[in-house]
Chain A
Amino acid sequence: EPEVTQTPSHQVTQMGQEVILRCVPISNHLYFYWYRQILGQKVEFLVSFYNNEISEKSEIFDDQFSVERPDGSNFTLKIRSTKLEDSAMYFCASRESSGRFTGELFFGEGSRLTVL
């Protein structure tokens, strides 16, 4: 069964350092998302990406965040200068289309980011 894969599974970094989280969405999917989940809290939307550009972003997704699809398979989330409050589980998700009744998101296993 096709799946979304994420690397690394866990990253520990010092405050102020840059971090890149990587995702390989399902190959025939067209819509890509990043969500985050702070420990014990709900899954929060960060950004959506379609046709090589950001289509929507939340208030959380400020100038410190960026996304890229550098090739035909990878989808990355970069945090330029990490803060303590960036510590969370980051989930990548993909979706075949945004048409009605095709709403299922396929999530990866997540990348746990710990900022010290």
Chain B
Amino acid sequence: GESVGLHLPTLSVQEGDNSIINCAYSNSASDYFIWYKQESGKGPQFIIDIRSNMDKRQGQRVTVLLNKTVKHLSLQIAATQPGDSAVYFCADGGSYIPTFGRGTSLIVHP
């Protein structure tokens, strides 16, 4: 089975709202996670990563939260824009063979 997976297949938000995309993992030894974004017709692109010695990491308009107790991480996008519309994947970055779940499709309505 998958070592990382996402909760919701689709998330619809209004432009300007904040978006939260969730991901659960099963391997308690996992210590490094990466979020990828895949726009339609393109390859996945790195967004942000987090190591297990951190609970939170912030980038530009994005924040990743890691809860090791419940093996859960989330990606928060502030002031969501139409250009954020894409499929978002979390991956175990420490794995030699990064594997992806089905992803959450973020749809941003103007």
Contacts and interface: CB of A to CB of B under 8 A. Distances in A.
The SS class assigned to the B binding surface is: loop
B43 A100 contact: no
Interface stretch (B10-18, B20-28, B93-101): B93-101
B94 to A, nearest CB: 6
Interface residues of B, number: 26
Contacts of B99: 45
A41 B2 CA distance: 14
Interface residues of A, number: 22
Contacts of A105: 44, 46, 98
Interface of A: 4, 33, 41-43, 45, 48, 55-56, 91, 93, 98, 100-101, 103-110
Interface of B: 31-32, 34, 38, 41-46, 49, 51, 89, 91-103
